[in-house]
Amino acid sequence: MRKRLALTVLGLLGSTSAAAQSNSATTRTMTVDATVPRSCTVGAPTLQPSGQVNFKGLNGSSLQIDQLVDPTTLSTNAASIEVHFEAICNLPHRLKIETQNNGLWQVQERGLSRPSGFANAIPYRARLDWSNDVLQLNADARVRRIAESSLLVSESRLGDLRLRLDIDAGSTNVQTNAPIIAGSYGDTLRIFLEPQQ
């Protein structure tokens, strides 16, 4: 019986308190502000094995061609690869691809001039797919220089940013099927995802 009485008393106290509060209620308004920074990010590269021809694979952020030249002709073997990046940009932005050398050039040039009939650079094509937009860059290897291509995207976006690189068989900076001077060849390719100015 005591237990039941105690519960009843607590119930009455609770309802009396609530009635007192509703008769003397006041309202306060508070404003809450926050800022979301303008931001674009590109994640680490991941290799798509189904799109890989004549590449050893991905080592960190470096790609290595397996056999750059045909052992019989000493000209370029075909090669292609596809790499994906998780990317997000929370505002209208610009997508840009830039090549440092405009092709695969000798890393350490041995002489000042290229011997007649030999190639010392290899052209390639780069393609970036970002949702429904496509950005292409033709690194023609005619002149060693920075080359770039860009496009403006008018919305926020997230998803896979897909990079495809292609080298055609026999492609050189001299003529098709020209032999290539011995040495290491390379280029630096940069992808930019940045807020529009």
Higher pLDDT, 8 or 125: 125
pTM of the predicted model as reported, rounded to 2 decimal places: 0.80
For 118-144, what is the mean pLDDT?
96
Alpha-carbon distance of 108 to 87, in angstroms, equals 34
Contacts of 194 (CB under 8 A, 6+ apart): 40, 93, 94, 96
pLDDT band at 184 (very low <50, low <70, confident <90, very high): very high
Contacts of 62 (CB under 8 A, 6+ apart): none
Contact 82, 48 (CB under 8 A): yes
Res 24: pLDDT: 79
Q: Is the pLDDT of residue 9 over 50?
A: no
Q: Is the pLDDT of residue 15 over 60?
A: no
Question: Structure tokens of 32?
Answer: 């809450």
Percent of the chain topping pLDDT 90: 76
Question: Mean pLDDT in the chain?
Answer: 87
Contact 53, 23 (CB under 8 A): no
The DSSP line for 22-55 is: HHT-----------PPP-EEEEEEEE-GGG-BSE
The DSSP line for 164-181 is: EEEE-TT--SSSTT--B-
Q: List Cβ<8 Å contacts ≥24 apart for 3-8.
A: none
| CATH architecture under which domain 40-195 falls | Sandwich (2.60)
Res 112: pLDDT: 61
Contact 167, 122 (CB under 8 A): yes
- Express each pLDDT in 72-120 by its tens digit: 999 999 999 999 999 999 999 999 999 999 999 998 765 567 789 999 9
Say which range, 50-59, 125-134, 143-152, has the weakest mean pLDDT.
50-59
Alpha-carbon distance of 191 to 32, in angstroms, equals 37
Alpha-carbon distance of 74 to 115, in angstroms, equals 15
Res 6: pLDDT: 35
Q: Is the pLDDT of residue 16 over 80?
A: no
Higher pLDDT, 34 or 197: 34
